């Protein structure tokens, strides 16, 4: 095969016809640009916190100093920023999963509101059920099973194992 021949099964990209305007998907470019900008902002914030954390003793993994957690969180935030920049450069735009985000957010609020009144078992069950229903892969029956198992494990770990003072069933059930 000579250097001028093309490999079998490939064709050169077709050039637009003479006078045909080239269209650009401006919203996609805007989204990519905002991802890159958000990534840069994340990196700048991470760098600022990392620099400020250097004023405190870092310590070791076994004896953490006051600068250990801020430095680690700065590294995580910087990595997320790099990921956003990379996603913006390659144009990856996964759809935003609003329903799971909403469900998990509501689950966190429910936990905070129910913990004192309902007790450990109902609070964990309600929270786990809402979070499990956030996944499209879970059927309602599977979500109930996940919530029941997580509730049992939480009760065993926190009440039986650790002796946490949170009531098993709170004043709401008395």
Kindly tell me if the per-residue pLDDT of 4 is higher than 70. Answer: no
**167 vs 20, residue with greater confidence:** 167
For 149-164, write each residue's pLDDT tens digit.
Answer: 999 999 999 999 998 8
- Residue 103: band (very low, low, confident or very high) from pLDDT cuts 50, 70, 90: confident
Rounded distance, CA 131 to CA 134, Å? Answer: 5
Full DSSP string of 127-146: HHHHHHHT-TT--HHHHHHH
Q: Which helix (H) or strand (E) holds 94?
A: none
Kindly tell me if the per-residue pLDDT of 166 is higher than 80. Answer: yes
- Maximum CA extent, the chain: 87
Q: Are 46 and 74 in contact (CB under 8 A)?
A: yes
What integer pLDDT is reported at residue 115 of this predicted model?
85
Nearest alpha carbon to residue 131 among 111, 114, 116, 152? 111
Nearest alpha carbon to residue 120 among 159, 75, 63, 78? 159
């Amino acid at each position: 095969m000579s250097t001028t021949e093309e490999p079998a099964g490939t064709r050169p990209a077709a050039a637009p016809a003479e006078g045909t305007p080239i269209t650009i998907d401006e919203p996609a470019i805007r989204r990519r640009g905002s991802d890159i900008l958000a990534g840069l902002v994340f990196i700048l914030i991470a760098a600022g916190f990392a620099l400020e954390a250097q004023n405190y003793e870092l310590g070791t993994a076994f004896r953490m100093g006051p600068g250990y957690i801020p430095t680690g969180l700065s590294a995580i935030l910087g990595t997320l920023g790099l990921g956003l920049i990379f996603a913006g450069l390659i144009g990856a735009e996964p759809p935003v999963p609003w329903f799971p985000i909403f469900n998990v957010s509501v689950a966190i609020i429910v936990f905070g509101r129910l913990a004192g009144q309902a007790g450990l078992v109902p609070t964990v069950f309600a929270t786990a059920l809402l979070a499990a229903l956030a996944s499209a892969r879970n059927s309602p029956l599977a979500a109930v099973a996940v919530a029941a198992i997580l509730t049992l494990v939480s009760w065993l770990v926190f009440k039986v194992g650790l002796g946490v003072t949170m009531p098993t069933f709170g004043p709401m059930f008395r």
